[in-house]
Amino acid sequence: MEKELHFAPMQGYADHLYRRFHAEIYGGADWYYTPFIRIEKGAPRHQDMARLDTAQLDGTPTVPQIIFKSVDEFDHLTRALRDRGWKRIDLNLGCPYPMQTRRGRGAAVISNLPLMEQIGERISADPDCRYSIKMRVGMAKPDEWRALMPTLNSLPLDHITLHPRIASQLYGGELYEEEAREFIAESKNPVIWNGDLLSPEDINRVFEAYPQLKGAMVGRGFLARPSLGAEWRSAQGWDHDKRMDYLYRFHTRLLAAYESTLCGQAQILQKIKPFWEYLEPEIGHRAAKALHKAGSLARYQSAVTDLFK
């Protein structure tokens, strides 16, 4: 079966416009995930819901991701999504930040077995929606997933995306490869690998190491090399000129979209600058610094012109 490639949720980097233009210009990803959607002041944030409506209209293959600490929050969020016609929902059991985990959300849910049993009943009662879970091997210890596995195995999940780190590692440090290997072997649900895939070779290597995988999910690798999926799929690397040509098109469309939807230079710069953060190896230190330092749109535009001339 052909492996799937998923574009990871990347809060602050891959918003609905980024995802849309990425899909249109590069392709190569089967699914794009939203950053987590949460309950704020008793309801899903209006802005998150409005952006989802836009993604639906654009036709970007999008999976909304939710973060929750209770069945009430889960119900509220899933009802809002199901009412809007969403048929796939991803559950965040991986967020490592104390802002969320202290309140019992994200990676803290991995060890909340009673909550996951109740959530499991909800999932089993909603067969028209394909649920997936994105998780770490544990919050504090790398073997926490083991206690949750019987519950996970009783659920009809579309897949589980596994990031083989614990919360305190955030997104760096050693991967728990052995735990991952056992997780993949014990899971009755399809597993998608997530973590540290930066090149087509990395993606192929993980599929060779774990042939049972349904696919791979890539975050920072896509930000650093938006052509990664297209290159991997065609089994053909792109040279620097081709990558820069596509980058120019991608950036031009994204900037134009921000300029037409946002008010004021500060807001536009704040939204567009992260585009470059992972691209320094591609564009070089000098260009990256000039883009980062630009204090006005005019200076920013001039740094962009210098980069692509």
Asked if residue 92 binds ligand FMN (CB under 6 A), the reply is yes
Q: How many residues bind ligand FMN, per CB under 6 A? A: 23
Hey, which residues between 228 and 247 contact ligand FMN (CB under 6 A)?
A: none
Binding-residue pattern over the window 190 to 229 for ligand FMN, x denoting contact by CB under 6 A: ----xxxx--------------------xxxx--------
What is the secondary structure of 224-261 as a DSSP string?
H-TTHHHHHHHT-PPPHHHHHHHHHHHHHHHHHHHHHH
In Å, what is the CA distance from 121 to each residue of 71, 85, 91, 94, 115? 10, 21, 14, 21, 10
User: Which lies closer to ligand FMN via its Cβ, residue 122 or residue 220?
Assistant: 220
Sign of the C-alpha dihedral computed for residues 266, 261, 53 and 62 taken in this order: negative
Which of 66, 24, 22, 52 has the alpha carbon at shortest distance from 221? 22
Alpha-carbon span 45 to 26, nearest angstrom: 30
Judged by CB under 6 A, which stretch of 23-31, 77-85, 92-100, 301-309 contacts ligand FMN? Answer: 92-100
Residues 17-56 that bind ligand FMN (CB under 6 A): 35-36
Nearer to ligand FMN, 4 or 252 (CB): 4
Identify which of 215, 218, 217, 287 has the alpha carbon closest to the alpha carbon of residue 247: 287
Residue from 16, 29, 51, 65 binding ligand FMN (CB under 6 A): 65
Shortest distance (Å) from residue 104 CB to ligand FMN: 16
Which positions lie near ligand FMN, rule CB under 6 A? 8-13, 35-36, 65, 92, 94-95, 134, 163, 171, 194-197, 218-221
